[in-house]
Amino acid sequence: MPDGWEKKSIPRQFLSAKLNAGLRMRPEEPWYGILNDDHLPMTEDWDVKLVEALKTRPIVWPNDNYSGRISTPVFDGDMVRTLGWVSPPEINHFYIDDVHELLAECLGCSRLESVTVSHEHVNAGRMEKDRTWAERPSNARDRDAFLAWCKEKWPEIRKRLDC
């Protein structure tokens, strides 16, 4: 584990609730990041490089070696506190990356190409389907929650972030 990191165990719940529980446990951190069980850091000092890049933008993410989407983002702590969440609580698991991509686009952020954290996703054929995969929430439920969030919450968030 990287220097200065700590591991916390919390009761089993969907991803969005876990991310937001982390924020509640540590509400004053300078940055927050997501590293899931299917992410494999490939670049030396990947964590240091991502955090360093936050000096010029409020969201940064590495090349994921899979989809090109945001799957291992790091967020400026002040931005997260402005939002009040790392992931919208209305969404359980799916579409979290879509929210992060909306934020990144709105704020003019981009991927840090010099860092790779490979997303060893089941759909990429790099990981076996396991209990976590089998017990994932409903994609349709999260799609509906995301679409409602876009309609009801996103316009106000854009104003708060001034983008």
Cα angle 43-49-51, degrees, rounded to a multiple of 5: 135
Average pLDDT per run of 10 along the chain, which is 163 residues long?
A: 81 92 96 91 96 97 91 96 97 96 97 94 78 83 97 97 91
pTM of the model: 0.90
Q: Are 117 and 64 in contact (CB under 8 A)?
A: yes
